[in-house]
Amino acid sequence: MNTLNKLFICASVLLIGCSDWTEIESVDNTDLNVTTKTDEYYAALREWKNTPGLPQVFVWFDNWSGVSPTGENSLRGLPDSVTIASNWGGHPKFDLSPERKADMEYVQKVKGTKVVVTLFSAKVGDDMPADSVYNIGSSSDEAVVRPAIRKYAEAIYDAVVESGYDGFDWDYEPAGGGGSGNYLWTNRVQRRIFVEELGYWFGSGSQRTDRDGRKPAKPGLLFVIDGEIGIGGRMDKDWESQYVDYYILQAYGSTTDYSLTSRVRGVINDMVDHIGAGRITAEEVVRRTILTENFESYANTGGGFLGMSRFIYEPNGLNQQIGGCGLYRSGFDYAPKGEGDYNGSPEYYFLRRGIANLYNIYYERLNPATPETEE
């Protein structure tokens, strides 16, 4: 009950539009090396981010230096309400500089932000030290494929844990990504086994006791798949995708409810066998689905992002709020857009508006207004 009271206090603050959790201080006025916020504030923020069923705010974060705790180059410069940030970009993914490491540890420990790493993993062994076991080419022989992918999935897990990340985001793009050697994307046997093996280390299936000789997994690591989900190459129906924490849709340029509904319906179709078997519900699939916009292209206008932040999936009577919204290359939203301030600061103008939309709807649906009765 104490936790709920805190959440409802947060809701009331959000609804009047002045919550620090949805805003970032103007770097012109505040030195973020010395926070003006209290330990109590950050403790409440961390507790709030652990709320079951809370919609997520996800960003792919690049141009990351971590040298200064301000602006678009540090995780600490993101709005407090960002719940998941992924290390995406040309800089190292696992050989983190001391500055990046300190920046990540700060947002994890102080703000409760989850930081994951995005890899394409288009073929077995990508981004990991070379090993002859990975040389399986296009084989679909499970006796050949399984040992290689099992070792590869564990190597990714070890690198994630050693680097201090909170999980793994597989950027899966078999149709749009091209590449004749990208067998982990295009070979149905290889990609099915890859998702299964990742599920022993990440996501809700990672604590399975029947591990067939695998060492114990660190609990709570996120398992995220983005890219061609419900569209393009799609998730195969025989994947163990019920263990995936979030399905992140690159719904780039989608500005209508019709297009967003179509994208989410595609995810439900990918999961239809799991839904039919009772492993997951359609409502839960929507709650795990995050819609994202491409700010490499749409930062100046917001694209479809604000519509994504307000989206509710309604076909077949579900009436389920989306599981979250987010941005590809969030740093492009940092600079002022000429739209004026949003709650007193021009930085992250669209991101902060989307955050307010997402959580306003969440709390309104959690606490619907009671209709007035006539006397």
Residues 176-199 have pLDDT tens digits of 987 889 999 999 999 999 999 999
pLDDT of 18 reads: 34
pLDDT of 31 reads: 46
- Whether 12 shows a pLDDT value over 60: the answer reads no
**86-133 pLDDT tens trace:** 999 888 899 999 999 999 999 999 999 999 999 999 999 999 999 999
CB-based contact 36:60 (threshold 8 Å): no
**194-241 pLDDT tens trace:** 999 999 999 999 999 999 999 999 999 999 999 999 999 999 999 999
pLDDT of 313 reads: 98
pLDDT of 340 reads: 67
- Whether 4 shows a pLDDT value over 70: the answer reads no
* Mean pLDDT, the chain, whole residue set: 89
Correct CATH for 55-335 of 3.40.50.1480, 3.20.20.80, 3.40.50.1260, 3.40.109.10: 3.20.20.80
| pLDDT, average across residues 22-42 | 58
- pTM of the predicted structure, to 2 decimals: 0.90
Question: pLDDT exceeding 70 applies to what percent of the chain?
Answer: 87
- Whether 21 shows a pLDDT value over 70: the answer reads no
pLDDT of 350 reads: 95
